[in-house]
Amino acid sequence: MWSRFSSATMRKLWQMLAHLNGQIINYATLGGSLGVSHTTARNYVELLSSTFMIRLLPPFLANTGKRLVKSPKVYLNDTGIANALLGIADFSQLAGHPSIGAAWEAMVLSNLMASFPGFSFYFYRTGHGAEIDIIVEYHDRIVAVECKAGLSPKLAKGTFTAIEDLNPEITLVVSPVKEGWPMKQGIEVVNLREAVNKIKEILS
């Protein structure tokens, strides 16, 4: 499946995926940069996904009557590899780097998927910018998860619009805080351990 695929092209693909970490993937753009068709680029990405090197998070196609983004988001499963490809050597560099949000989101997703292997995971985004980072679904009930790497998280207008669209059981804003707090009705700031416990309590 990797026939005629050079090590230089592989490194370029990995570097592009590192910059796309946590973003919606565009196979046409990816293929154009690699000098291959969008179908070939999709095959490369799906091969990396099938070998667990990357994760493709599908969109949540809710019947909201809105135009929804239908391409998946891509995550590198190993955040160390992602940081190395971006030239980040230690946490102090990561803390000041624009990719810290994506690294945190990838880690949160990885931990949630490991904690709930029987659940389904998605993201939600409309053409007008309403967005939820992670949707956790079990037996047709959902919890919305927003990932914020800062210690004083705030939600954008598009997040509140997405919450209105989806009406989840609860919205969890997962941040690296020592202890969480209620943000407003139906929305709570939590750390990762608290997020796992809340999801288990609500959906299990």
pLDDT digits (tens, 9 = 90+) for 80-92: 999 999 999 999 9
Mean pLDDT of the region 57-68: 86
pTM, rounded to two decimals: 0.94
pLDDT of res. 65 = 72
- pLDDT tens, position by position, 121-162: 999 999 999 999 999 999 999 999 999 999 999 999 999 999
Give the start-to-end residue ranges of the domains of the chain. Answer: 7-203
Q: Tell whether the model's pLDDT for residue 40 goes beyond 90.
A: no
Q: Tell whether the model's pLDDT for residue 20 goes beyond 80.
A: yes
pLDDT of res. 5 = 75
What radius of gyration, in Å, describes the C-alpha atoms of the chain?
A: 17
Pick the CATH number of 7-203 from 3.40.1350.70, 3.40.50.410, 3.40.50.300, 2.70.70.10: 3.40.1350.70
Of 184, 166, 175, nearest to 64 (Cα)? 166
What DSSP state is assigned to residue 52? T
